[in-house]
A and B are shown apart, each in its own frame.
Chain A
Amino acid sequence: MIKKLNTPLTNQDIESLRAGDIVLITGTIYTARDAAHKRLVELIEKGEKLPFDPKNAIIYYTGPAPKKPGRVIGPCGPTSSYRMDPYSPYLMKEGVRVMIGKGDRSDSFYKALKDYKSVYFQATGGAATLISEAVKDVTLIAYPDLGAEAVYEFTVENFKAIVTNDSIGGNLPLENRKKYQK
Chain B
Amino acid sequence: MRKIDLKLIEDTVAELLYDACVNLNEKELKALEKAKLEEKSEIGKDIIGQILENDYLACKLNLPLCQDTGQAVIFLEVGSEVIFDGNLEDAINKGIAKAYTLGYLRKSVVSNPLTRVNTGDNTPAIIHTKIVPGDKIKITAAPKGGGAENCSALKMMIPADGIEGIKKFVLETVEKAGGKPCPPILVGVGIGGNLEKAAMLAKEAIILREIDDVAEGEAERKLEQELLEAINNLGIGPMGLGGTKTALAVKVNTYPCHIASLPVAVNLQCHAMRHKVKVI
A76 interface neighbour in B67, B147, B240, Cβ under 8 Å:
B67
A162 to B240, alpha carbons, bound, how many Å?
12
What residue in chain B is nearest A104 (Cβ atoms)? B178
B106 interface neighbour in A66, A80, A125, A176, Cβ under 8 Å:
A66
A175 to B243, alpha carbons, bound, how many Å?
11
Among A49-57, A111-119, A126-134, the stretch that binds chain B is A126-134
* Minimum Cβ distance to chain B for residue A53 (Å): 26
* Minimum Cβ distance to chain B for residue A122 (Å): 7
Interface of B is mostly: loop
Interface contacts (Cβ under 8 Å), in number, total: 153
Number of interface residues of B (CB under 8 A): 44
Is there an interface contact between B67 and A180, defined as CB atoms closer than 8 Å? Answer: no
Query: Within 8 Å of chain A (Cβ to Cβ): is B25?
Result: no
Is there an interface contact between B237 and A176, defined as CB atoms closer than 8 Å? Answer: yes
A162 to B46, alpha carbons, bound, how many Å?
11
* Minimum Cβ distance to chain A for residue B76 (Å): 26
What residue in chain B is nearest A76 (Cβ atoms)? B67
* Minimum Cβ distance to chain A for residue B145 (Å): 8
Query: Within 8 Å of chain B (Cβ to Cβ): is A90?
Result: no
Is there an interface contact between B105 and A129, defined as CB atoms closer than 8 Å? Answer: no
* Minimum Cβ distance to chain B for residue A143 (Å): 13
For B272, list chain A residues within 8 Å (CB).
126
A102 to B58, alpha carbons, bound, how many Å?
20
> Which of chain A's residues 37-68 have a Cβ closer than 8 Å to chain B?
62-68
A132 to B65, alpha carbons, bound, how many Å?
11
Mark A149-182 against chain B: 1 for CB-CB distance below 8 A, else 0. Answer: 0000000000010101000000011011111111
Query: Within 8 Å of chain B (Cβ to Cβ): is A74?
Result: yes
For A176, list chain B residues within 8 Å (CB).
41, 43, 235, 237, 241-243
Is there an interface contact between A129 and B241, defined as CB atoms closer than 8 Å? Answer: no
A180 interface neighbour in B57, B69, B108, B235, Cβ under 8 Å:
B235
Between A and B, 28 residue pairs with Cβ closer than 8 Å are A63-B108, A64-B67, A66-B104, A66-B105, A67-B104, A74-B104, A74-B106, A75-B58, A76-B67, A77-B67, A102-B239, A103-B240, A124-B47, A124-B51, A126-B51, A128-B58, A128-B66, A130-B50, A133-B57, A147-B107, A148-B67, A176-B235, A176-B243, A177-B235, A179-B235, A180-B41, A180-B242, A180-B244
Chain B residues with CB under 8 Å of chain A are 40-41, 43, 47, 50-51, 53-54, 57-58, 61, 63-69, 104-108, 118, 147, 150, 178-180, 182, 233-237, 239-244, 270-272
